[in-house]
Amino acid sequence: MGADRERGKMAEIKQYVEILLESLKKKKSMLQNILEQNIRQEEVIRNNCDMDEFDRTVKLKRRYIWELESLDSGFEKVYARIKEELSEVKEHHRDEISQMQKLISEITDLSVRIQASEERNKKLVETYFSYTRGKIRESKKSVRVASDYYKSMSGTNYTDARLMDRKN
């Protein structure tokens, strides 16, 4: 009975390890999707800043981030469930643990690349909006100058019609 129980426990741990591996693979995929959207955002910002397209990329990223959070939560729960047992039988799962370590390293690399990309995009957006605000100020100033000009010109050439009709 003890051997059967041990085999059952090992099979259960193996299933959980496979779930952890699958979760890490999905997380890597979500991070790659986010990085692709960041690259797309950079292209949109650099090429005339189509706000509808920019908004689409933001919404997609929001969905990917939600999925990431869900994956992280599930991963943490599964890992917490088997952490002690896994450390006791880690020799039996050496290959899977090695795969997980490799995936975690790749995930960390992707996370760093995403952070750098986000920072670049933030600066690009700030520059774009600063430029746009400057153009709006320029336009308002031009309208004000033109308006002031027309007001001043209409006052200098104004001759009262009553004065023109009188003959002295």
Give 24-88 as a DSSP string: HHHHHHHHHHHHHHHHHHHHHHHTT--HHHHHHHHHHHHHHHHHHHHHHHHHHHHHHHHHHHHHH
| Model confidence at 165: pLDDT above 70 | no
Average pLDDT over residues 64-77: 95
| Model confidence at 53: pLDDT above 70 | yes
pLDDT for 74 equals: 94
Give the Cβ contact number of residue 71 at 10 Å.
19
Which of 76, 75, 87, 63 lies closest to 13, judged by CA? 87
pLDDT for 51 equals: 84
Which of 29, 59, 20 lies closest to 41, judged by CA? 59
Give the Cβ contact number of residue 137 at 10 Å.
10
Whole-number Å distance between alpha carbons of 62 and 71: 14
pLDDT for 163 equals: 52
Question: 85 and 9 in contact (C-beta within 8 Å)?
Answer: yes
Q: Is the pTM of this model over 0.85?
A: no
Which residues does 31 contact at the CB level (< 8 Å), separation at least 6? 68, 107, 110, 111, 114
pLDDT digits (tens, 9 = 90+) for 85-120: 888 888 888 999 999 999 999 999 999 999 999 999
pLDDT for 10 equals: 84
Question: 33 and 64 in contact (C-beta within 8 Å)?
Answer: yes
| Model confidence at 60: pLDDT above 80 | yes
* Residue 166 pLDDT grade (very low, low, confident, very high; cuts 50, 70, 90): low
pLDDT for 159 equals: 52
DSSP 90: G
pLDDT digits (tens, 9 = 90+) for 72-89: 999 999 999 998 988 888
Give the Cβ contact number of residue 14 at 10 Å.
15
pLDDT digits (tens, 9 = 90+) for 119-164: 999 999 888 888 777 777 777 767 676 666 566 666 655 555 555 5
Computed over every residue of the chain, the mean pLDDT equals 85
Residue 145 structure tokens: 């100058």
